[in-house]
Amino acid sequence: MKKIMILSLATSCAIFAASINFNEPAGDFTRINPEFNKNVVLSYNSSIADAKKSVVNISTTKTVNGAGADMGDMFNDPFFKDFFGFQFNIPQEKQKSSSLGSGVVISSDGYIVTNNHVVEDSDEIVVTLLDSDKEYKAKIIGTDPKTDLAIIKIDAKELKAIPFADSAKLMEGDIVFAIGNPFGVGGSITQGIVSGLNKDNIGLNQYENFIQTDASINPGNSGGALVDSRGALLGINSAILSRGGGNNGVGFAIPSNMVKEIAEKLITNGKIERGFIGVTISDMSKDQKELYESKEGALISSVEKDMPADKAGIKRGDLITKINGKSIKNANELKNLIGSMAPGSSVDVEFERDGKSKSTTIKLDAMKSDSTTLGSAGEDSKSAIEGLKLRTLNDSLRRKYNLDDDVSGALVLSVKDGSKADDYGFEVGDVIIQVGQNDVKSSDDFDRYIKDYKGKKTLVWVIRRGIPQGLVIR
């Protein structure tokens, strides 16, 4: 009986067996040493010898609140103030705090680039070269928190300025070296490869276009150099991803082309002025891409009234595809490009609206301080979408949901589980502000416009937790 079962199984396998031809490397191979001469040692010493002379140690001292500060911060928290009805006054002791980092010499007369977080709020900055014990007092020339870069200067001559590589020519797999002062042990070099390029949405800086590397980057390496096998600067080491604080092989460096641009502006003007058009942007979702001919670009989520984009005729739902003839792949590219342009300059913009390509010219304004662009009970009403209950916004609801006074639309009061409204992605607390190209001022507006789009896909724009989002309605 056993034999029959085994034969039956074997027969079954043979009947349903498939065949596959694996792709094999061409020809045979042999292994060789880098050099046949047994007296030759493989080394990158000459590659990084000059670059190491351009990297410096940075020690900073700042004044911080002492032990009483933590309790003071806690009791002055709005929760405690509201609960107890008065403000606590706890004596705050001042203490000195020291930290270490790295920097890179970019001019022979003492200009040094580093991370902003290495030097911000410092009372004193002391710089030492990796091959010298001599200390230099440094002064801050300019900082840019949005890219986490800063320029400092020391009174020195004939320093070794590092050569800049073109980071746009960098490729994944290129060998790189990280040079810095990890844990304060002094000049150290680690080696790895480029693991990834154009990394954004990491959440470290407002403007991101990181080089990712597995070259070990540890505390103290911040502001140090990432160089190629020629010793040319590819980027400024900035951060690591780590749960425990140690190196896990995922480090990020700010690319040299961005470093060069920011450094030049800080040295020349002492500050960064960025172009501003007054929009909120996002990448397209998979569903949203079905509504546009172009599959790449930056989607306009909101347009600030009387700002440059508004004056140029840009509307919510437009898809920006080109700036000055340069293709825009995503929201981050548009943000970085506009941010790199001077206020007052004009840019030619190509965009898609309702399946048609259009163009306009926008004159850039100057970016102001950081901000996010947004912007009676009434009767509850069921909407034209199954499972969605709405109410027209009024002052009482604006206060209840902490909405700005100028926000108008239809508030989502409830979404039935498993309904069409649930499938479309509506959430309680959403404020519906636009259907297609039509502004929504009330729940009646929403129903009227939705019926006009019956049977067609369209974008319904909502404000969710202060941010405009586009939902695809079928």
| Catalytic positions | 117, 148, 222
Task: Considering only CA atoms, give the Rg of the chain.
Answer: 29
Phi, psi at 374, each rounded to 5°: -140, -105
Single-letter amino acid code for the residue at 458: T
d(CA 162, CA 182): 20
* Number of Cβ atoms within 10 Å of the Cβ of 140: 17
d(CA 45, CA 182): 19
Tell me the CA distances in angstroms from 145 to 87, 117, 135, 151, 204, one per residue in order: 32, 8, 26, 12, 10
* Closest listed residue to residue 177, CA positions, set 46, 40, 33, 34: 46
Tell me the CA distances in angstroms from 381 to 447, 453, 464, one per residue in order: 10, 20, 20
Tokens 């590659």 belong to residue: 47
Q: Is 223 exposed, middle or buried (0-12, 13-18, 19+ CB in 10 A)?
A: buried
Phi, psi at 47, each rounded to 5°: -70, -35
Distance of CA 38 to the CA centre of its chain: 49
d(CA 321, CA 300): 11
d(CA 206, CA 338): 13
d(CA 193, CA 173): 5
d(CA 59, CA 52): 18
d(CA 317, CA 352): 9
Q: 3-state SS of 402-471?
A: CCCCCCCCEEEEEECCCCHHHHHCCCCCCEEEEECCEECCCHHHHHHHHHHCCCCCEEEEEEECCEEEEE
The number of helices, as runs of H, and strands, as runs of E, in the chain is 12, 27
